[in-house]
Each structure stands twice: as structure tokens, then as C-alpha cells.
Amino acid sequence: SKSYNITLLPGDGIGPEVISVAKNALQLVASIEGFEVAFEEMPMGGAALDAVGVPLPAETLNSAKKSDATLLGAIGGYKWDKNEKHLKPETGLLQLREGLQVFANLRPTTVLPQLVDASTLKKEVAEGVDLMVVRELTGGIYFGKPRGFGTNENGQEIGFNTEVYAAYEIDRIARIAFETARKRRGKLCSVDKANVLEASMLWRKIVTALASEYPDVELSHMYVDNAAMQLVRNPKQFDTIVTNNIFGDILSDEASMITGSIGMLPSASLGAAGPGLFEPIHGSAPDIAGQDKANPLATMLSAAMLLKYGLGEEKAAQRIEAAVLDTLNRGFRTGDIHSAGHKLVGCKEMGEEVLKSI
């Protein structure tokens, strides 16, 4: 029978709690669908800083590279917030993305009917929202050079970064976005700041040039400031959004908050070949770490994305997705999504209920 190696990176804060729950779910659906999963748990982020002094140990990156897919919990915490850049947990995450060359970050935002009241948006605005942000993840201002500190011609201290995109980087992320849109509702909105930035002008040119290869996809363009508005005004207008690294960071977080339940939202980061990286979009929530209060469903759904996009085990993925919905339908809620009339449970119990549903 087929067998997969999965690297688990519990990370910091609530990371270990949500990973342990998702691991059980992966194990269970594997046994039902008749394939094997072997896990390798590796340190990453603050945990790795504390253990070995770097946020991404070489062994961790190697494990992720050799495996069939990687599931990450969360990284970061107050403790390491003032660290120098190369000793920040976040730097480890960026190194992992770069090391795995996962340039395409898929972030679905779905308002579930069961949770529509969790949104701060009016019901008629929030209900039915179902969009996907395709964010470029290994380029742009996150990685562009030159970067650093220095002095300008007047001897003034400066800090600087470079927003840079090469045509091939735009082309490959745009193709993923067109293909994603094609499998969804066939609408792609490319977000840039082409009225000001040259990097965005090239972005728009390359995306536009691809449109003829995807005649079944309706392409539109929007400036990033307008997109930030439209996500609040009428998020239902969006199907698939494609954008650069920094705009994607901002807009995907804004979009996720439309659901009011970011404890529910997964993400997948994919490369041209090689293993993908899967993680919930929420952070490490140090304030509730170790208290069995975390919502493990975003990590469950990330495990489902891992099965689908990472291993091609679509049926197993659907089992997890269906079980998450069933568990919600049976009334179980963690604190972050709890409302009157529902059963308040902790991270572990929520995990067990999902296993029952599976």
C-alpha cells in the first residue's frame, strides 16, 4: 500500500496542541483509505531557537524537503519578538518557504452557514462568501535585494527594501491562479498598484498576457487600496484573487477576518515540484497556549489541503472536511467561535469529536 512521509512542525504557542489533534485525524483517514503515513516531528520557530539557537535548523529543512508534505502549527511569541532579524521565528518561516520554493500560497476564505454570525459583517454581506487568495510567497519585497540599513547622501540613517518581480515569477503564480479560478467559479481578480509601482506594472502586463490562454476565466484588475475597500463593502464579488507577497499578506488576513473565525482557516503553499507546506492562517496565540482552548479546525482543514494538494488523496481530504462540518453541525464549538446554544469544548475534545465524525 502507498506510504507517505509527513513532516510535522508543531512550532510555538498553540502549535503543538493543534498539530497533535490534526495528526490523529491524518492517521485515521489514512487507515480508512488504505494508505500509510509516517510522521517526523521537527523543531521550528521559537521552539527551535530555544533548543538549538536558530529558527529553522538545517535538519528541519531537510526533513521537510525529503518528506511528501509538511504540516506546520504556528510560530512566534512575545519571548522572541525583540530578537534580531536572523533570530526571529518569522525568519525561520521565510527560510522554510524559500527553502521549499513554495511560491504559491492558497488561502481560501469561506463563510460557513454554521458560523455566519461570528462575522462582524452584516449577515447579508457575509453569508455565501467563498473566495480564494492566491498569494505569491517567495518573491517581492519579502526577499528582494538590496535590503538593509545604511546612510543616504545626507548622512541620514535609512532602512530599505526592494520590491522586485521577474516576469517568470509573475507568470508562474498567475498560471496557478488562472487554474485555481478555472476549478472554481471562473473569475480571477489580479490586485496590484500599477498606477504607481513599476513592479506592479510588470505584474499587470504579464497577467494580462496570460489571459488569452485561459479564455474560460474572466480576468479583472483592481488596485490594492480599492481591493481593501471592496473586501469590506462586498466580499461576495470575489472568486479568486491573485496578488504579490506583501499585498497578499495584508488582503488575505483582511479577507479571513470577514469570516469572524480565523480559527477555521487553512492554507497551502505549493511549489512547481517538491513537497508543499500546509498551515493554519492563525498565529501562535501565546495568551491561550497550553490551556487546551485552541481551535484545531484550521489545522484539520490544513491537513485536508495537505491530503488534496500535497498527496493527491482527495477522498481522504474530503473525509476530514466533511467531518469538520459534521462536528459543527453537531453543535461543538471552541471558545473563539462559541455562541449561545452550542457546546463549548476544548482543543482535545474538539479533535476527538472530529475523529468520531470521520
Ligand X SMILES: CC(C)[C@H](C(=O)O)[C@@H](O)C(=O)O
Cite the active site residues. Answer: 142, 193, 225, 249, 253
Report the residue from 98, 253, 292, 352 that binds a copy of itself according to the rule CB under 8 A: 253
Query: Residue 78 interacts with a copy of itself (CB under 8 A)?
Result: no
Stretch that binds ligand X, among 90-98, 110-118, 209-217, 350-358 (CB under 6 A): 90-98
For residues 179 and 241, what is the distance between their CA atoms, to the nearest angstrom?
12
Cell digits of residue 358: 470521520
Residues 6 or more apart whose CB falls under 8 angstroms from that of 107 comprise 132, 133, 134, 135, 248, 252, 255, 256, 265, 267, 281
Rg of the chain, C-alpha, whole Å: 20
Rank residues 262 and 289 by Cβ distance to a copy of itself and give the closer one: 262
Pick one of ligand X, a copy of itself, none as the site partner of residue 257 (Cβ within 5 to 8 A by kind): a copy of itself
Residue entry with cell 503515513: 37
Cis? peptide before 266, omega within 30° of 0? no
The 3-state DSSP class for residue 37 equals: strand
Query: Residue 166 interacts with a copy of itself (CB under 8 A)?
Result: yes
Rank residues 249 and 353 by Cβ distance to ligand X and give the closer one: 249
Query: Residue 193 interacts with a copy of itself (CB under 8 A)?
Result: yes
What is the H or E stretch that residue 134 is in? strand 130-136
Q: How far is CA 147 from CA 32, 138, 356, in A?
A: 50, 15, 51
Query: Residue 90 interacts with ligand X (CB under 6 A)?
Result: yes
Asked if 266 and 304 touch (Cβ cutoff 8 Å), the reply is yes
Query: Residue 31 interacts with ligand X (CB under 6 A)?
Result: no
Pick one of ligand X, a copy of itself, none as the site partner of residue 156 (Cβ within 5 to 8 A by kind): a copy of itself
Asked if 223 and 190 touch (Cβ cutoff 8 Å), the reply is no
How many Cβ atoms from other residues are within 10 Å of residue 50's Cβ?
12
Query: Residue 257 interacts with a copy of itself (CB under 8 A)?
Result: yes
Rank residues 16 and 45 by Cβ distance to ligand X and give the closer one: 45
What string marks each residue from 220 to 259 as x (binds ligand X by CB under 6 A) or -?
-----x-----------------------x----------
Query: Residue 136 interacts with ligand X (CB under 6 A)?
Result: no
Task: Name the minimum Å distance from CB 320 to ligand X.
Answer: 22
Report the residue from 31, 62, 120, 195 that binds ligand X according to the rule CB under 6 A: 195
The 3-state DSSP class for residue 278 equals: strand
